[in-house]
Structure 1
Amino acid sequence: MQTAHVVPSINQIEFHPGYWQPALTEYCKKQNIAVESWSPLARGKVFENYVLQKIAKKHEKSVAQVCLKWIMQHKVIVIPKSSSPKRIKENIDIFDFQLTNSEMEQIDNLPQMGFSGEHPNFWPDRIN
């Protein structure tokens, strides 16, 4: 914002359970910049997490559905990618349940997982 001539309308950031950048997300919201989740399923790392599995089982949903719902309840845009018709249908079937405040907090506090390690200032590698 110190050098921008135009305020961005959206910021796509890595945002998923285990790496959700709350300070950056809050900053964007205060600046009226929408946040879009990049890598909402942490490159598949979320599927191995016991807390997410337990919450999913309670709601009779998949881990992916719980993660997508968690992102939406943070008021972040999420556009999951899939080439499987079954998963595409599953990904949209998240509007019939809510995560409790306790569940949101449990997910918020998960240890880091799935972090890509990629940084926008250094990716893609410089081409000579």
Structure 2
Amino acid sequence: MLTLCVNGVDSVSGTTYHGTLTLCDLAGSERISKTEATGQRLVEAAAINKSLTALGQVFTALKNNALHVPYRNSKLTHLLQPAVNRDAKACIFVNISPSIKNLGETLSTLQFGSSVRQVSLGKAAQHLTTAKSST
């Protein structure tokens, strides 16, 4: 995760502006049955899946205009709170695979992207933009 804080001053009006750009590369979900992970790798895979589930819960709460958004359900969502709160603007890129062996993960990723796209953030309540790419 990389967070850039930018400050600027309008030379005419003297108004100070503040902005933050957060870049976060999320790991893909770990299919335990497919990777056959064991030991420490299994623990790590479970943690990744828990964080991604928590992120999905945050987006669902935002989409449904819930009074409570569960940002504190994981360290990931807690750290991303400023970037995905109701006053933020966000752009989500999903990465999919053209390989038939990854069809399940691709469909799951596209479903997640489609769900996230329905979330309204920002003062203008614009929909989140999702971009698809294939690897």
Comparing both structures, which one devotes a greater share of its residues to strand? 2
User: TM-score normalised to the size of structure 2?
Assistant: 0.31
Query: Normalized against structure 1, the TM-score is what?
Result: 0.32
